[in-house]
Structure 1
């Protein structure tokens, strides 16, 4: 995954939360040449939820959730602000340092750093990562097993060598990702457990644009975002004629997803199908049978269309019949007039 994709989550968050795996992500973005966009932005995400936010315009690190205000240290946010101010200066200088390596000067340029950790609260396993990118391309990643950088492009080799020379930096980062980061994550999860550890089941709808379109099973309002959705026929999962979309975030912090059934079915056949939604952490699945009465549609009902066609055919036939009667009557009258004229 290219690092540039994190721009889309700076203001909207990332859908990475699960029932038992928690994550802490730090996203740093420095940009030049982009009008109306801050030169530097930092976002911290806990289980995909924005924990804090800083940019070069506001010059303050601010909490993004009501529960993020709950910290044991009264100077926590002041320290976060000072740290982000230092990061801003470092990253803005990095943009100017990297451009010559790519033979670039003006234009739009972006560097990004994403690092963090995941913690499985059932198994206790820890996973860390560190990735650095430039203009949408992954430049370098930290190999936590060898404490060395891995260059993703030839132009990144120079920067990789610089990092490799500083073994102390790699060891310190590895220590943080394997120890400090999980400790912070566990603390933040405890602050927001009422939000991060909740389970919300969705509302499920059957939708169809018209009777020729696929039937869509749409679930919205669920949390966390670890869920599966599929179609079954006669109790067995099917994949043919089925297209399932990605899990997407809602504005209220919940999620939505859909799966389409691309089949044109009569009433008897539809009863054999059902949509199944399974949410991680929930005890039961939500099963929605494919019944015509449950489908919400913007188009006409197929039976209404059939009746309308039949009525139209009847009306058309009646019009044709009337026209033939009138036509034959006129022909007969014309024939009589011709005979009268001949006798005269």
Structure 2
């Protein structure tokens, strides 16, 4: 067992040099044909990549995941009625008819078929810019999407051209889409952020781990338990981000409303003398609610597992702890974006591996 002092770099940057903080509201509709044990039509509402509720159009049931979302609909019964009407009547009927039409268009008589729609908006809470989107996919491929600037529909597949021409000529449909995607949905998103402020606008730091299955396997840097999802994880050499010999994983949700991500580094061409030149960097974009993170201390412990027979999994887990001070009104008024950066040296991990005695457990 050994202790490792970790380095934490916390920087402030003016908006010109920092990515804007954007919030999103997404409605994901999935309809199916040929799946007897799967709902024919399900709609999920997602705010900043967090599932806040969904409904089953076939069973006419809803499931709200947070008390603050229930409060929103209690205070806004018109919105509740919209959701019920859309989920229980409009969407199931529209998607069922559309799937039947597409099966004929694609010359399909049976089998499993999936029609999906992703609609909603992004809202920049600093520039106030709104971006609306509405796109359809059929059997795993893009089918149709809206272009609000040209007020037309984009058809990437030949089978979608007929629908594109029909919807391009339907000016009322376009106006309705514009209203929902750029006016109504952004208003709802702002309301959700207000009601769910303590949950949606919180900041949680990750636990950062370095994992290696065998001595010849890539070293995986895993960050888990962070929030919000606006984060990056990279390997660096001599302070420069690496783009070769690395494999980036996607940002994935955890069951508790936080996120995880990983990035692998191929060590096959790295000599022990060069270990100190590498580090893993986690960067989290947060608002001025948290303006300072002080020294981070990682306690590294060695845990050895037997996997199947001779395969061993060596894991060094580094828990990240920190202390914060909240922003003063003077600091908050500058409207800075902030980044928390955690540096995890590769040399510490690999040097520790050299001291581990590989054991066999029955």
TM (normalized to structure 1)?
0.75
After superposition, the C-alpha distances for 1:92-142 in whole angstroms (9 at most, x for unaligned) are 122222222222222212222221110000111110111122222222112
Shift of the alpha carbon at 1:289? 1.9
**Counterpart of 1:275?**
280
Which one of 191, 216, 229 corresponds to residue 225 of structure 1? 229
Q: Residue 82 of structure 1 corresponds to which residue in structure 2? A: 85
Partners of 2:169 and 2:240 lie apart in 1 by 57
In structure 1, the residue matched to 2:258 is: 254
Distance 1:209 1:177 in 2: 46
Please report how far the alpha carbon of residue 169 of structure 1 lies from its aligned counterpart in structure 2 after TM superposition.
Answer: 1.0
Q: 1:303 to 1:85 in 2, by over 3 A?
A: closer
Query: How is 1:190-229 mapped onto 2 (pairs within 5 angstroms)?
Result: 190-229=194-233
1:73 equivalent among 76, 100, 108: 76
Q: Which residue of 1 aligns with 2:21?
A: 20
**How far 1:240 sits from its partner (Å)?**
4.2
- Is this contact kept in 1: 2:220–2:265, CA < 8 A? yes
Matched residue, 1:12: none
Following superposition, the deviation at residue 296 of structure 1 comes to 7.7
Q: Say which SS state the counterpart of residue 119 (structure 2) adopts.
A: strand
Structure 2: how far apart are the matches of 1:242 and 1:19?
A: 26
1:31 equivalent in structure 2: 32
1:42 deviates by 0.9
CA distance in 1 between partners of 2:238 and 2:24 (Å)? 39
Measured against aligned partners, the alpha-carbon deviations of 1:199-233 in whole angstroms (never above 9, x if no partner) come to: 11111112222222222222111111121222333
RMSD: 2.5
- With over 3 angstroms needed to count, the CA separation of the structure-2 counterparts of 1:261 and 1:100, relative to structure 1, is closer
- Structure 1 residue 236: Cα displacement: 3.8
- For 1:209 and 1:111, how far apart are their aligned partners in 2? 39
Q: Is the 8 A contact 2:57 2:87 kept in 1?
A: no
- Distance of aligned partners of 1:187 and 1:233 in 2 relative to their CA distance in 1, 3 Å threshold: same
Structure (1/2) with the larger helix percentage:
1
Q: CA deviation at 1:184?
A: 1.0
Report how many aligned residue pairs link the two structures: 285
Name the counterpart of 2:45. 44
Residue deviations 1:37-73 (CA, integer Å, cap 9, x gap) = 0111111111111122111343023312232111222
More RCO (CA 8 Å, sep 6+):
2
Alignment correspondent of 2:177: 173
More strand by share: 2
**In structure 2, how many angstroms separate the alpha carbons of the residues matched to 1:101 and 1:236?**
51
SS of corresponding position for 2:61: coil
Separation of aligned partners in 2, 1:141 and 1:75: 28
Listed as ranges, the gaps of 5+ residues in structure 1 are 1-17, 306-344
In the superposition, relative to structure 1, how do residues 88 and 272 fare at CA in structure 2: closer, same or farther (>3 Å)? same
Superposed CA offset, 1:269-305 (max 9, x none): 32333222111115531112224567787xxx47868
Q: Deviations over 1:169-212 (max 9, x none)?
A: 11121122111111111111111111111111111112222222
Q: Structure 2 length normalisation: TM-score?
A: 0.71
Equivalent residues of 2:285, 2:340 under 8 A apart? no
- Are the counterparts in 1 of residues 20 and 124 from structure 2 also a CA contact under 8 Å? no
Q: Return the offset for 1:75.
A: 5.9
Note if 1:147 corresponds to 2:203. no
2:65 aligns with 64
Q: Is it true that 1:125 corresponds to 2:126 in the alignment?
A: no
Query: Looking at CA atoms only, which structure, 1 or 2, has the larger radius of gyration?
Result: 1
Partner of 1:312: none
Aligned partners of 1:289 and 1:96: how far apart in 2?
56
